Chains A and B, each alone.
Chain A
Amino acid sequence: MRIEAPVISRGVADDAATVTAGTEPLLRAQNVHRVLGSGETAAHILRGVDLSILPGEYVSIVGQSGSGKSTLLYLLGGLDRPSQQNPAGESFNPASRIFIDGKDTYELDEAALALLRNGKVGFVFQFHYLLKEFTAQENIALPMFKLGRLTRPAAMDRAAGLLEQFGLIDKAKRRANRLSGGEQQRVAIARALANEPAVLLADEPTGNLDRQNSERVAEIFDGLAARGQSIVMVTHDLNLARRARRMISMEDGRIVADNQLPARTV
């Protein structure tokens, strides 16, 4: 069964796959460093990454394990904060910063950053991390409840709409833990899209799925990208990575390649 990517309604043109030159970046990394731990045991995971993601871009980040790609993704989504000093205690120059939709995450407190994530970013992880006490529909509606842009019934209706687009409407009232692995991951994607985020950040979204379900997820991403959804995806799967329009390669905490890929017919 082919799954339709959900219609997103941020006024992005249908042919938004074409990224307009000169547009303000949606996500920007400025000399981003990430140091975990301290002293002799400190691990310098990211070593001065500069990167801009424009609206409507479909970007894949590849690299070996430990290259820092997931760390970069979490930083880009405001789930983590860049380090401001190296293990020796010296400040980075220029300052290590992440900008989400023009906002410097360094200047935001924890609550403000959480609100920014809620409104602008949708995360999909390797594991679905659905809340098992809630139904599929409720899991999708939770971010909308938090954002408060829609009333509760409207949020539940939108959640049902997303489930329908992902071919899961018959599972709407089913508890999350009663769904198959592929279904759970699709619900997780729907949840990430619930608030119509500016950018969808996916960390190994097919890493825990069989081939058939991986292909379904890939098709969903293709469809979303075709409709102008900005996507940044971290993956080990080169076939999946090549479906993006831009592929970034990382090694030892640095970007070593950043290539535009030829457009793919969805």
Chain B
Amino acid sequence: MLWFISIRYFLSHKRQSLVCIAGVTISVMMFITMSSMMSGFTDKFIIETVESSGHITIHDEPRETRTQILRQAYPGVEGVLALEGIKPKDQVRKISNPTGLLMKLRRLPGIVAVAPMVTGDAIANYGTKTVNIEVLGVEPEQQTAVTTIGLKVVAGDFKRLKTAAQGIIIGRGVADVLGASLDDSISLNSSTGGRTIAKVVGIFDTGVTPIDYSRAYMLINNAQTLLDKKNIVNEIVLRTDDYQLAKGYATQIEDIAGYKTESWQESNANFLKIFKIQQIITYFITGALLVVAAFGVLNILIMAVLERVNDIAILKSFGLSRQDITVIYVMQGLVIGLIGSTLGLLLGKVAIESLRRLPIQMEGLVRAEGLLMSEHQSEYVVAFVASMVVVLLAAVYPARRAAKYDPVEVIRGAH
């Protein structure tokens, strides 16, 4: 019976009801679309970064700065003890016994693949063009097992690192800046004085600008020579069975390896923070839209209550309780919420598919053909639940106000 009255009231003001529904629909659609856009961008960055750099990286350094020997001898003494002009002992940074560590790591549960690496900075020259690059010395088979970099090679082949003498695979951005193409020879100078001429045997494109514009891969032996790190391995990259669990694995591995071990989450913490802030801003904007829509519902339901004061009085006179009256108006909010949210989800889906097909060239932190749209079921659920909650909350005030009318006062003409 309450549904019967509620629906009839809802249908009696079609225009106002449609305005309410449109408000909810638009806000839900915007929520879905903006969330999808944000997720698409974030997902692309995370996936490409993780897949091309590995899930976990062991570095050739301890996590904590080593405590000076005098501080170890006199812990907590600050006032009397003063250490000045400390010159740290020159140390060759490396991972000791990398072969043994690699074997140990391969046996760990959850670890799918491991690869040794030597890294260092160099300057690449081609003609008059110069660019700073990070050289990654790798074993091609092992590297392609821990990362998907082999699949990202758009010209040449990752395996050619093995066959070509002094081969190098550079990022698409590096190639663009240098103006170098496949099989061109570029000159490399390391910060330690090493020099070599390397042949471009491949160009990769991960779609992540910071990687494509700074990274180059060489065979590990060649990189060790260039960087003056003979027989040195200063990083070990690992692939896990689930990249989301990398943080937990990294903590365990750090205890085993004794070196600073970073998960991809830790390595990209700054970017992840930015994404989080962007996500909050997105939720804030779309949430504000939803609140505006809810005010529309509130306003129209208040008007509906004021118009039907006599009806409320008569309904009470023949036996409807305050709760019944409340339910009648909350149900109208429920109907507005259900129709508006459902339409919003459908239109959101349509908007996502349309935007995905838009031929927009994106070049920023990530590079892509067309807008990056990503869909998560949870976002649809959040949008639906949030809109329903907000609309129902907006319906509660007019409903309670309606329920409070004293039928005697109304019949006497006080309202």
**What's the nearest-Cβ distance from chain B to residue A47, in Å?**
18
A79 touching B311 in the complex, CB below 8 Å, given contacts A110-B321, A125-B411:
no
Q: Please report the C-alpha to C-alpha distance between residue A131 and residue B1 in the assembled complex, in whole angstroms.
A: 14
**In the complex, how many angstroms separate the beta carbon of B311 from the nearest chain A beta carbon?**
5
Query: Which of B4, B313, B321, B406 has the largest number of chain A CB atoms within 10 A?
Result: B321
Q: Are A111 and B323 in contact (CB under 8 A)?
A: yes
Give the CA-CA distance A228 to B368 in the complex, in Å: 85
For the side of the interface on B, what is the size category? 20 to 34
Chain A: CB-nearest residue to B411: A125
Which residues on the B side are within 8 Å of A147 (C-beta)?
319
**Are the C-beta atoms of B316 and A114 separated by less than 8 Å?**
yes
Are the CB atoms of B319 and A115 closer together than 8 Å? yes
With contacts A79-B407, A80-B408 taken as known, whether A191 is within 8 angstroms of B321 at the C-beta atoms is no
Which residues of the partner chain B approach A110 to less than 8 Å between Cβ atoms? 321-322
Binds A, one of B5-13, B47-55, B370-378: B5-13
Cα A195 to Cα B411 in complex, Å, equals 22
* Cβ contact within 8 Å between B408 and A74: yes
Interface-located stretch among A2-10, A116-124, A213-221: A116-124
Chain B: residues with CB nearer than 8 A to chain A? 1, 4-5, 8-9, 11-12, 310-311, 313-324, 406-408, 411-412
A133 in contact with B318 given A74-B408, A79-B407, A111-B323 (CB within 8 Å): no
Interface size class of A (residues with CB under 8 A): 20 to 34
Tell me which residues across on chain A come within 8 A of B407, comparing CB atoms: 79
Which residue numbers of A lie inside 8 Å of B, CB to CB? Answer: 70-71, 74, 77, 79-80, 110-111, 114-115, 117-119, 122-123, 125, 127, 129-131, 133-134, 142-143, 145-148, 191-192, 194-195, 203
Minimal beta-carbon separation of B215 from chain A (angstroms): 70
Residue of chain A at shortest CB distance from B13: A133
CB distance from A177 to the nearest CB of B (A): 11
Leading 10 A-B pairs by shortest Cβ distance: A118-B319, A145-B1, A114-B321, A129-B314, A111-B321, A143-B318, A133-B12, A123-B317, A80-B408, A133-B8
A118 with B318: CB separation less than 8 A:
yes
B interface majority secondary structure: helix
Contacts of B322 in A (CB 8 A): 110-111, 114
Q: How far is the CA of A134 from the CA of B311 in the complex (A)?
A: 11
**Hey, which chain A residues are within 8 Å of B411, CB to CB?**
74, 125, 129, 203
Q: Does A117 contact B317, Cβ atoms closer than 8 Å?
A: yes
In the bound complex, residues from chain A placing their C-beta under 8 Å from that of B320 are 114, 118, 146
B316 adjacent to A129 (CB under 8 Å): no
CA distance A195 to B315 in the complex (A): 14
User: How many Å from the CB of A193 to the closest CB on chain B?
Assistant: 11
- How distant is the Cα of A114 from the Cα of B324 in the complex, in angstroms? 10
5 A-B pairs in the complex with CB atoms less than 8 angstroms apart: A118-B319, A125-B314, A133-B8, A143-B318, A146-B319
The one of B1, B8, B9, B311 in contact with A146, judged by C-beta atoms closer than 8 angstroms, is B1
In the complex, how many angstroms separate the beta carbon of A155 from the nearest chain B beta carbon? 9
A191 to B411, CA, bound (A): 17
What's the Cα separation between A191 and B311 when bound, in Å?
A: 14
Given contact pairs A117-B318, A142-B315, enumerate 5 new A-B contacts (beta carbons under 8 Å): A80-B406, A114-B319, A129-B311, A133-B11, A203-B411
